[in-house]
Structures are given as C-alpha cells and as structure tokens.
C-alpha cells in the first residue's frame, strides 16, 4: 500500500495531486471530462486542463504549467503537480480584497540606443525600441492618474544594460517591475501577446529547450510574479478574441531572475506579422493595450494583500503539519525504541539540491535535498540585492 502511495505522489520526483484533491483545492463543485479536457468549475471560476499538454485555461486565460499532467481521467489516475495547483489556487484565483493599493511601479521599455530590438521587415521598418517607449509612456500616464508612483528605466532613446534595469528597480525600491517588449518570429503568421514570469527553481521554462536553474533572486516572489503576470495577460487576452492568447509563460530572462521585486516581461505582439504591425501603429490600439496592461496592474494591486494572507496561512498549515509529524515520530520512538522509521520525503523538486531554509522564508525557497542523479548544470551566481524593508518582498517574507 505504501508503494502505491509513493507511486501516486512522488513519481519522477514531483509531488502529485489526484483529480479529487485538485477539485477540492480549487473549491469547484463541478468536474467534467469530455474526452479532450477535464474542466473544474464553480460559480466564479472555470479551470480546464488538457491531458498530454502543459497548456491550461484559467478563467479563459491560457496558462502554461510547469509540469505535464500525468495519467488518464478515464482510468482514474489523472494527476496534477502540486506546484502548479498551488500557483493556480493562490496566484490566480485569489479573491479581490478592495481598492487597489498605491504601488510604486517601475516601467521598463525594452532595448534602446544602439539596441533596436526586433525590427519589422521592409518596406515598413519599425524598431521595437521606439514602440515600447511609446507604450510605456501611455501605461505610466494611466497609473499616475490612478495615484500610483511610477518610475522608468528609460524615458528616451538610450542604451541600458540588463543589470542596469534590475538595479534601477532596486534603487528606486519599486514594488513591481514591468518590462514591455514587441515580439518577432521567422513565421510571419505568428500573432498574439504573451507574458513571462520566472520559472520556479528546479523547473525548466516554457519555451522548448529551456533548462532548469537553481534558486534565483526572482524566485523569492514566485507567487507574486504569477499573480501579476496572470492579471496582465488576462486583460491583454481580452483585447481581441480573434487573436490567439499565447498565455502566461515562464522563462528565466535576466530582468526576471535578477530583479528583487515581483517582475514580468510582456510581449505585446509580433513585428514580423504585417497585419499585427499595422494595428500596433494605430493610436487606438496602443491606447487599448495601455489600458489592458494598466488594468492588469490595478487587479494585482487589489489582490496582493489577500495573497499575502493566503501565503501566511499556508505556511502556518505547513508548520503545524511538520510539527505534528515530528511529535508523532518522537512518540513512536519512545514507545518502541527498537522501531526504525524509514520515511520518504516527497516534498522536493527534481534536480534541486539546497539546504532547507528558515520556516519564514518564501515558500518556493524551501526545497528538500533529493537523491536523484542529475547532470551538472551551470552554477549561477545571483546579483547582490539591496531590498528595502518597506518593499513587498520583505513585507511578505518577514511576516
């Protein structure tokens, strides 16, 4: 019986949740399997998973999972990774808790100066650096009108190194960092927006060929990153239902892994798609896009406190469970000193080997050692942070 439990919950070094556990955690009264997808729903939320795919839909917004779901619904062994369930439950389905907080937002217009970024094909040549700067100004104007403090990594056509952008956010003691870009693809038909946040430690990013990394500075805000990225992408996807929603994705871009506050990177559309390029050059489209990004930030600002409460409650449950288990094991040894208790810990992430952190450290920073042999990966030395005690990161990590 123990072997069956271990197979269900720790296969391939990933902690799993069954279909019933997923339904209960999401608070969904309905569960429907139609042969193509499994759908969980209640009065407020609709969450859909596709067997054999990392794609999921959360309230009609595309979200890419960290781990491919396994099993089959018809066979009764379908399962979802615990980390993906946590990100959806806490980072995406957190209830709104009132008026948006007045945050300090650092806006980053991608590229600049000698770095044009992506460029559209002739005869209509448009540089990404100009488009992103125009959009950043529109977003900043809307945030300031709503009472938020706004800082910019650049306000004109100047070149900035990647570490300068992350450093600017730390020096300004920003609450969130939003980097805006325009996309490009060899396929001229590629279209749509997508939003990136850093992938959790030990998990590969969404794009094919991405590799897993150890813990980075940005991983301290995994739940907040998810909440911010999801809110922005959800609003961008509503701009035009005819345009594909490329979804919330994960990748370890420099500005995401080296920025100490919650950070996202937004790709608003493809300069390589002529039709989409022409739209992006319209002032009406740019205004709508600026509204969508701003609305995503406002949504995040209205939920961030509720997420803080949810994280704190989760930590308390984890602490109580761990304490109860320790007391039970201690009692068992006292009652029967000759009894050897062999426990298999399944609370780990494949390929990550780090010491257990303090109990009040960020949740995703507490990873157990594994005994799984992995090929050595590049050792990454993160930049030194200088985080203000008043920043959101410190607020949640020390409460």
Residue 214: give its domain's CATH number: 3.40.630.40
- Do both 140 and 172 map to the same domain? yes
Decide if pLDDT at 306 tops 90. Answer: no
Are residues 116 and 76 located together in one domain of the fold? no
- Per-residue model confidence as pLDDT tens digits over 274-292: 999 999 999 999 999 999 9
**Confidence class of residue 337 from pLDDT cuts 50, 70 and 90?**
confident
**Are 222 and 279 contained in the same domain?**
yes
Q: How confident is the model at residue 308 (pLDDT cuts 50, 70, 90)?
A: confident
Last residue of a domain, one of 82, 105, 124: 82
Mean residue pLDDT across the chain: 84
In the predicted model, what is the mean pLDDT of residues 221-250? 96
> Over 70: is that where the pLDDT of 388 sits?
no
Flag whether pLDDT at 228 surpasses 80. yes
pLDDT at 381: 40
Check residue 285 and give its pLDDT. Answer: 98
In terms of residues, how long is the chain? 399
Could you list the residue range(s) of the whole structural domain that residue 287 is in? 94-399
CA nearest neighbour of 107 among 148, 156, 140, 134: 140
pLDDT digits over 147-203, tens only? 999 999 999 999 999 999 999 999 999 999 999 999 999 999 999 999 999 999 999
pLDDT of residue 322: 87
Instruction: Identify the pLDDT of residue 318.
Output: 84
Q: Same structural domain for residues 183 and 278?
A: yes
Instruction: Tell me the average pLDDT across 311-322.
Output: 86
What distance in Å separates the CA atoms of residue 253 and residue 137, rounded to the nearest whole number?
23
pLDDT grade for 349, boundaries at 50, 70 and 90: very low
Choice between 331 and 102, residue whose per-residue pLDDT is larger: 102
CATH of the domain at 41: 3.30.457.10
Contact 392, 352 (CB under 8 A): no
Where residue 310 falls among pLDDT bands split at 50, 70, 90?
confident
Residue 331: pLDDT band (50, 70, 90) is: confident
One domain for residues 60 and 137: no
> What pLDDT shows up at residue 98?
78
Per-residue pLDDT band at 394 (split at 50, 70, 90): very low
Whether 5 is in a domain gets the answer no
Res 97: pLDDT: 73
The verdict on 381 and 255 lying in the same domain is yes
Q: Specify the higher pLDDT residue, 321 or 162.
A: 162
User: Are 161 and 192 within one domain?
Assistant: yes
Indicate if 132 and 272 belong to the same structural domain.
yes
Position 298 confidence tier, pLDDT thresholds 50, 70, 90: very high
If phi > 0 it is left, if psi is from -120 to 50 it is alpha, else beta; for residue 353 that is beta
- Confidence bin at 312 (pLDDT 50/70/90): confident
pLDDT tens across 247-269, in order?
999 999 999 999 999 999 999 99
**Which whole number is the average pLDDT over 295-319?**
90
Choose one of 82, 106, 122: the last residue of a domain. 82
Residue scoring higher pLDDT (345 or 288): 288
- Express each pLDDT in 74-126 by its tens digit: 889 999 999 999 999 999 998 777 788 999 999 999 999 999 999 999 999 99
Do residue 31 and residue 178 come from a single domain? no
Domain boundary among 50, 82, 114: 82
Clarify whether residues 77 and 104 are in a common domain. Answer: no
Q: What's the structural domain count of the chain?
A: 2
Does residue 108 lie within any of the structural domains? yes
């Amino acid at each position: 019986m123990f072997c069956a439990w271990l197979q269900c919950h720790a296969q391939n070094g990933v902690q799993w949740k069954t279909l019933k556990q997923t339904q209960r955690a999401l608070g969904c009264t309905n569960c429907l399997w139609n042969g193509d997808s499994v759908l969980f729903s209640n009065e407020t939320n609709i969450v859909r998973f596709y067997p054999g795919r990392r794609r999921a839909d959360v309230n009609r917004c595309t979200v890419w999972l960290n781990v491919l779901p396994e099993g089959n619904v018809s066979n009764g062994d379908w399962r979802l990774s615990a980390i993906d369930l946590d990100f959806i439950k806490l980072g995406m389905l957190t209830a709104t808790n009132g008026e948006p907080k007045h945050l300090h937002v650092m806006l980053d217009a991608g590229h600049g100066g000698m770095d044009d970024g992506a460029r559209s094909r002739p005869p209509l040549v448009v540089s990404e650096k100009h488009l992103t700067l125009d959009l950043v100004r529109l977003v900043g104007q809307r945030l300031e009108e709503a009472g938020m403090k706004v800082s910019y990594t650049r306000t004109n056509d100047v070149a900035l190194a990647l570490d300068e952008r992350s450093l600017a956010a730390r020096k300004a003691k920003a609450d969130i960092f939003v980097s805006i870009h325009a996309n490009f693809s060899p396929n001229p038909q590629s279209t749509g927006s997508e939003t990136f946040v850093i992938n959790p430690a030990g998990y590969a990013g969404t794009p094919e060929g991405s590799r897993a990394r150890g813990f980075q500075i940005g991983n301290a805000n995994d739940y907040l990153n998810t909440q911010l990225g999801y809110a922005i992408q959800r609003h961008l996807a509503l701009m035009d239902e005819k345009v594909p929603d490329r979804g919330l994705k994960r990748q370890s871009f420099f500005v995401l892994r080296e920025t100490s506050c919650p950070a996202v990177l937004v790709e608003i559309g493809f300069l390589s798609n002529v039709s989409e390029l022409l739209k992006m050059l319209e002032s009406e489209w740019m205004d709508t896009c600026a509204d969508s990004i701003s609305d995503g930030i406002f949504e995040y600002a209205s939920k961030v406190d509720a997420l803080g409460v949810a994280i704190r409650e989760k930590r308390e449950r984890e602490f109580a469970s761990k304490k109860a288990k320790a007391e039970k094991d201690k009692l068992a040894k006292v009652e029967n000193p000759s009894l050897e208790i062999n426990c298999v810990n399944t609370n780990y992430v494949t390929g990550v080997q780090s010491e257990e952190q303090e109990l009040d450290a960020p949740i995703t920073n507490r990873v157990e050692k594994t005994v799984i042999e992995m090929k050595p990966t590049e050792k990454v030395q993160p930049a030194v942070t200088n985080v203000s005690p008043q920043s959101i990161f410190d607020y949640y990590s020390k409460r």
